[in-house]
Amino acid sequence: MADETRVTRRRPDFLTMFFGVITLFASAYVLTDGRIWVPTIDPRWLLAGGAVLVGLLLLGASLRKGKRG
């Protein structure tokens, strides 16, 4: 009988990552006495951030080993 070893994959915890990024922004705000805070959001930055996110997701998907049957 062959022993089957089960490999468990761990997924990143997006909620923890989100709160970590928010904490980094809050730290930057406090350390600079609020001088870098920009109250308006430029839509171009949102578009660029979305493009970077999609690119990273596509890169991550291409690096995964796919199960082809």
pLDDT of residue 60: 83
The model's pTM? 0.41
pLDDT of residue 11: 79
CA distance 40 to 47: 15
Query: Is there a contact between 28 and 35 (Cβ–Cβ < 8 Å)?
Result: no
- pLDDT per residue of the chain (69 residues) written in tens, 0 to 9: 556 677 677 777 888 888 988 888 888 878 887 776 556 677 788 888 889 999 988 888 888 776 554
Total Cβ atoms within 10 A of residue 29: 13
pLDDT of residue 66: 65
